[in-house]
Amino acid sequence: MIAQIQYNSRKLKIDLSQPLDISIPVKGGSSNVNAWYIDPPNIVPEVFENGIISVEEGASVNFNTITFNPHSHGTHTETVGHITEQKYSINQYLKQFFFLAEVITVAPEKRGEDYVISAKQLQFAIGNKKREALVVRTMPNTNEKKKKQYSNTNWTYLEEDAIKLLVKKGIKHLLVDLPSVDKEEDGGALKAHNAFWNTKGKIRKDATITELIYVSNKIEDGVYMLNLQIAPFENDATPSKPILYKILE
C-alpha cells in the first residue's frame, strides 16, 4: 500500500506494506536486554483462588501481569521528564509521530577507557541535511544487542558537544542503540541528556530520546520516514516501536 505524505513543501511516497521495525521487544526472562542493575522483566499469569489464569492451565483466558522498567528492558522513548523534578509525560508531550529521519552508522572513538561518539563524527555523517530525527547505529552491530546485559559494561556514549551539534541542526528526536546517550557512571552529570533538552534554557519539551533500538545491517544508511509509535503511558518514558519506511522515488 503506497501512501503519500506531505512533509513541509514536499510530497513523499512510502510503502506501508514494507515497515522496518527497529525496536527491541520486552519479553520475560534473563535473555531480555537489560541495563541499570535491576532484575529482568517478569511476565506471568495471575493466580486467583480457583487457580492459575492461563489457558494452558485450564482457564478460559490468558491473564498475564507484566513487571518491567521501560528504561531498562527494551526500546523506550523518553521526555525531559526523565531528568527533571517537574513531571513531563511522554503521552502528553509527544503529539506527532511521523518524522523525516536520517539513519547513520558510527564506529565509536576511543577516549581513554571509554568509547564515544563525537561531534566531528556526526557532522561528517549528517553534513548539511535537514532532518527532524536521527537514528544512530553503532559498530560493531550484531544480534547480541537484542539480549545484551549492559550493566557494568561502560557502554559507548555521546559527547556533550555531539549533542549540542544535533540541537543546533534541529534534531528533535534522537534514536540510539545504546542504553543511554550518557556515560553509565558520570556522577549524575547527564551532560548529553541536559544538552539535548536544553535544561539550562528554554526546555525542548517536545523533543524525545529513544534508547535501546536495534537497526538491522540490512537497513542502509540514508533518509527514511520514521513512525515513532509509543504505548500510552502517563510517565516520563514508555516502551516504543519506531518503524522506518523507505522513501520511494
Contacts of 26 (CB under 8 A, 6+ apart): 32, 41, 66, 68, 73, 74, 239
How far is Cα 58 from Cα 79, in angstroms, rounded to an integer? 42
Residue 213 has pLDDT above 80, yes or no: yes
Please report the pLDDT score of residue 8 as a whole number.
Answer: 78
Kindly report, residue by residue over 117-129, the tens digit of the pLDDT. Answer: 999 999 999 999 9
pLDDT grade for 68, boundaries at 50, 70 and 90: very high
Reported pTM: 0.97
Cis, bond preceding 140 (omega within 30 deg of 0): yes
How far is Cα 51 from Cα 59, in angstroms, rounded to an integer? 8
Q: Contact, 35 vs 212, CB < 8 A?
A: yes
* C-alpha cell recorded at residue 105: 552508522
Enumerate long-range contacts of 27-34, CB under 8 Å, 24 or more apart.
Answer: 28/66, 31/147, 32/73, 32/74, 32/147, 33/73, 33/74, 33/145, 33/146, 33/147, 33/148, 33/149, 33/150, 33/212, 34/72, 34/73, 34/148, 34/149, 34/150, 34/151
Total residue length of the chain: 249
How far is Cα 209 from Cα 175, in angstroms, rounded to an integer? 6
Kindly report, residue by residue over 73-86, the tens digit of the pLDDT. Answer: 999 999 999 999 99
Please report the pLDDT score of residue 1 as a whole number.
Answer: 87
8-state DSSP, 128? T
Please report the pLDDT score of residue 98 as a whole number.
Answer: 95
The single residue listed with the C-alpha cell 545504546 is 178
Mean pLDDT of all residues in 154-165: 98
Domains along the chain?
18-24+70-248 (3.50.30.50)
How far is Cα 53 from Cα 111, in angstroms, rounded to an integer? 52
How far is Cα 45 from Cα 42, in angstroms, rounded to an integer? 10
Q: Contact, 45 vs 53, CB < 8 A?
A: yes
pLDDT grade for 50, boundaries at 50, 70 and 90: confident
Residue 169: closest CA among 122, 208, 224, 209: 122
